Structure 1
Amino acid sequence: MSEAEDPPSPKGIPLLGNGLSFSKDPVGAMESWADHGDLVHLHFMGESMYLVTHPELIKQILVEKQHKFTIGPEQQDTFEGVEDNAMTTATGERWKRLRRAAHPAFTRESITNYGDRMAAVTARFVDEWDDGEEVALHPEMHRLTVQILAETLLNEDIRGQEDVVIDAADAFIARTNFRRPGQLLPDWIPTPTERRFRRAIQRLDTFVDDLIAERQAAETDVSEDVCAMLLGAYKDGELSLAEVRHNLVAFLMAGHESPSGALTRVWYLLDDHPDVYESLCEEYNRVVTGDRPTIEEYTDLEYTQHVVAETLRLYPPTTGINRQATGPVMLDGYELPAGAQFLIPQWVPHRDERFWEDPETFDPDRWAANVDRPEYAYFPFSGGPRGCIGNDFARQELTLALATMVGRVDLDVTTDGPLTFIPSIQLRPATKITAVVRQSTQ
């Protein structure tokens, strides 16, 4: 037991505590707070939370003592009205049942079967760009990842309908913006942000309902995508129709947001590191034998995988993971009470100089070395039993999509300032990033 009764607590301001600095700059605030220790006690308006940034403590919460924690109320409140019946917000036996129903779509074998289609969709997408055309990079990556997701996990070509998903994601980001006006008001108050969110989610719900109805009306469904598997579980009485719908909504929302952000940031980084881009091109020419990479060539795209891993290290998808103690728990020598909430950010341990040499430097070669570091110094898609079910899917998608793009186009990237992020649940770029398309000379 620590001699102190409570972990160190960074100074805040009256009433708002640490909340103001977090709303202004979440990642900067978390980096500053972590200087006080690996476990610090934060105070926000009306509540408190513990920031956990050491890999060993993170592993205790997510893995070793995971039975003593559950998802926090912040996560449930965030997804209220969107994924109430999805595994995102479920706990206990219900979460296990939902995870079990979706798992067959995310086995290594299933994900491998999606590989060639991931590359084919990417090739088709970038081939629609004109030489010399200027594109808004992040919106375009949204469109691409929605198309990949729909054609792999749903077996649907939704070209021309991507905005149904993208608008819902945009409205969700706006709703979870830590600085939005009216953030502290109850959700039932019809603020403009809340009205926009409800409209966008209703459109997405209707879109998914129509998709489900079309599948149910089909005489046979021999596909092995996630929609077919969830509907199979519904027919077997394992899932309700609401659970099918909300899990499909969850896959569409989260399944395109993180990869689109990663692809945007990787091209931002490549523009500043032409040597890395040249190495990617060299690997493409050496490994890829056709007009785009195949799943058989995926393993040999080793450097491309390192670029993806390094991008996810520097710029993880989310602000952090939320957990709540179900009973009193000992952590880092402190006895913490039942109901204690924990914020576990990837950003801080991903850039901690105790575990990474030159942590602020973009260096894909660091992944070629066998370095002994704590497991949870790197966890872009969370970890433990509740780790992201689409972890392997996203890594494969990012590798094959990036390689396909490198083989077909070169992007001359321009930003309107330093890379900053919307202060929200997702680390979505606030900086405008554009790119001029040049047909590849590969």
Structure 2
Amino acid sequence: MATPPTPDGVPFLGNGMAFSRSPFDAMEEWAQQGDVVRLTFPGQSIYLVTSPDLIEEILVERHGQFTIGRQQRKTFSGIEDDALTANTGDRWKRLRGALRPAFTWDRIEAYGPQMAERTAAHTARWDNGQMDLHREMRLLTVRILGDTLLGTDVTGDEKVIMDAADALVDRADPRRIGKLLPDWLPTLTERRFERRIAALDDYVRGVLDGHTPGDGDVCSVLLAAHDRGDLSMSEVEDNLVGLLLAGHDSSAVALTYAWYELSRHPEIARSLVEEADEIADDGLLGGDDFERLDQTRHVVKETLRLYPPTWGVNRQATESVTLGGYEIPSGAQLMIPQWVLHRDERFWEDPQTFDPSRWARDEPRPAFAYFPFSGGPRHCIGMRFARLELTMALATMATRVELDVTASGPLTFKPSLSLRPTVDIEATVTPRKLNRAD
């Protein structure tokens, strides 16, 4: 059987050198060689898969023949060992079932007013002048998660969560020199990671110890599952830690890039403001306004297309499989990059252009030409939460402030857990005058 094409590399490093220099450009270039491409990195081969149909096979139709990738397990080792993201098989099914009640649409929709209220309170802090946009979006999303996930106001405690997320991002960076060192060697990055994760673990335990039983937050759902014997306390803690880290970081970068693009497309920004002003006629938005915010939802969708916070999905073959006419050996690592599919001109007209109106048009394309939250049984459990949060936060901010966004250089990104910018992104804030009482 034929073998997949392999791009030219350099001795010892293979394709690793090109990936380190410009990972996103490299993936787009490699994808031109075929739907399945074999890449060589020090000590391993990775198969790049960029056909929507093959991706659907991997994530949906034949998902039982694939599991989470080795890199994902290694990344979350020591932080989410008992969480959904790091488990497989029957344990993963049990954890997914225990968490599912916390993420039904009825429950998530009820968070809408809290998300809007928290966003309004957050923007009220902004004075005229410049601010670090990404940092402010991180503070906002951490506080929203405090309200909805933990049932507590985390104002003043954001640093422990953000520091842990920074340490995890640094540890997971595939370009880090320490990735080439033996796992037993204690690098500075690893030691910082361990300290900051330990601090976050202590913080979450403290929240759990002081938590008041109720039914208005995710924490209550998980504790109820623990009381029924469906979750151990370690599983409650690790899943809360995982949701805090992933939930705040991915939403923060999405909001940052949404405002970056809105600042460059004032006509789109105006239509978003007009829509939010019309719908928020009582001063604040609610979860039941989600479906009415067409323009805002289209901006969110387009932002997630052009800047997918999770830029790639990793899988590992659990047996030898045939994929696209190629034999893929058992244990092979697969890279499935949203970044490439979301910008592929086979499926998108003017793919590099920020165009929310494309989502109002009937443009048939394969299901997995767009999958910002992965897909199949292991799709992101917080998908609907994130869409509601991004829509509520963006629309609420639009009614209250104008943001003129600038970057310190060309927009480039870190190929780590989330698509963080490598340049500073600042915003000049101009408060808008509300024409109604809050």
> Would you say same fold, with TM above 0.5?
yes
Residues 377-386 or 230-239, more deviating: 230-239
Cα drift, residue 23 of structure 1: 1.9
CA distance in 2, matches of 1:349, 1:319: 10
The equivalent of 2:48 in structure 1 is: 51
Determine if contact 1:102/1:230 at 8 Å carries over to the other structure: yes
Pairwise mapping of residues 241-260 of structure 1 onto structure 2 (< 5 A)?
241-260=233-252
Q: Does 1:387 align with 2:379?
A: yes
Does residue 83 in structure 1 map to residue 80 in structure 2? yes
CA deviation after TM superposition for structure 1 residue 377, in Å: 0.3
How far is the alpha carbon of 1:436 from its aligned partner? 1.1
Contact 2:309 2:418 in 1 (8 A): yes
Q: Deviations over 1:274-306 (max 9, x none)?
A: 111011112122222122222232211001000
- 1:425 Cα deviation from its structure 2 partner: 2.6
- Distance in structure 2 (CA, Å) of the matches to 1:336 and 1:193: 34
- Which letter maps to 1:184? L
| Cα-to-partner distance string for 1:204-245 (whole Å, 9 max, x where unaligned) | 000011112223xx5xx1224221111122222221111111
State the Cα RMSD in Å. 1.2
Separation of aligned partners in 2, 1:45 and 1:142? 35
Which residue in the other structure is 2:207 paired with?
A: 211
CA distance in 2, matches of 1:338, 1:418: 41
Local SS of the residue matching 1:323: strand
Contact 2:115 2:389 in 1 (8 A): yes
Counterpart CA distance in 1 for 2:36 and 2:261 is 31
CA distance in 2, matches of 1:177, 1:142: 19
Alignment match, 1:170: 166
2:189 alignment partner in structure 1 = 193
Equivalent of residue 21 in structure 1, options 14, 18, 23:
18
One-letter amino acid of the structure 2 residue matched with residue 90 of structure 1: N
Contact 2:113 2:284 in 1 (8 A): no
The answer on 1:156 being equivalent to 2:136 is: no
SS in 2 for 1:422: coil
| Corresponding residue for residue 3 of structure 2 | 6
**Matching residue's letter, 1:360:** Q
1:54-73 maps to which residues of 2 (within 5 A)? 54-73=51-70
Q: Which residue of 2 aligns with 1:302?
A: 294
CA distance in 2, matches of 1:34, 1:88: 27
- 1:195 Cα deviation from its structure 2 partner: 1.4
What amino acid maps onto 2:428 in structure 1? V
Check whether the contact 1:6–1:334 (CA below 8 A) recurs between aligned residues: yes
For 1:147, the aligned partner's letter is: R
Distance verdict in 2 for CA 1:160–1:182, change over 3 Å: same
How far off its partner does 1:22 sit?
Answer: 1.2
**Cα displacement string for residues 317-341 of structure 1 (whole angstroms, at most 9, x for unaligned residues):** 1231110111111110112111111
Q: 2:187 is aligned with what amino acid?
A: T
Q: How does 1:249-398 map to 2 (within 5 A)?
A: 249-398=241-390
For residues 185 and 86 of structure 1, the distance between their equivalents in structure 2, rounded to whole angstroms, comes to 27
Letter of the 2:221 partner, please give it: M
1:87-106 superposed matches below 5 A: 87-106=84-103
The one-letter amino acid of 1:6's match is T
- Distance across 2 between alignment mates of 1:334 and 1:272: 44
SS in 1 for 2:334: strand
- Whole-Å separation in 1 of the counterparts to 2:374 and 2:325: 24
Q: 1:34 aligns with which of 2, 23, 31?
A: 31
Query: In 2, distance between residues paired with 1:247 and 1:296?
Result: 28
Give the Cα–Cα distance (whole angstroms) in 1 for the partners of residues 36 and 11 of structure 2. 22
1:113 corresponds in structure 2 to 110
Partners of 1:115 and 1:251 in 2: how far apart?
18
Distance 2:350 2:115 in 1: 33
Contact map agreement 1:9 1:40 (CA 8 A) in 2: yes
How many residues align? The count is 434
For 2:106, give the aligned amino acid: E
Q: Which amino acid aligns with 1:110?
A: R
Contact 2:150 2:207 in 1 (8 A): no
> CA offset at residue 162 of structure 1?
0.6
Give deviations 1:166-189, integer Å, cap 9, x for gaps. 000011111112232322123432
Task: Give the TM-score of the pair, scaled to structure 2.
Answer: 0.97
Quick check: 179-188 or 51-60, which moved more?
179-188
Which consecutive residues of structure 2, in runs of 5 or more, have no partner in the other structure?
A: none
**Deviation at 1:423?**
3.0
| 1:124 correspondence with 2:127 | no
AA aligned to 1:53 is T
Change (3 A) 1:125 1:93: same
Residue 203 of structure 2 aligns with an amino acid whose one-letter code is: F
Distance 1:357 1:377 in 2: 12
Q: Secondary structure at the match of 1:200?
A: helix
Instruction: Please list the CA deviations of residues 328-382 of structure 1 after superposition, one character each: whole Å capped at 9, or x if unmatched.
Output: 1111011211111100010111011111111111000000011110000000010
Asked if 1:404 is matched to 2:400, the reply is no
CA contact (8 A) 2:148 2:216 kept: no
Q: Does 1:181 align with 2:182?
A: no
Identical counterparts, % of pairs: 55
Amino acid at match of 2:319: G
Separation in 2 of the partners of 1:185 and 1:144? 37
Q: Which residue of 2 aligns with 1:238?
A: 230
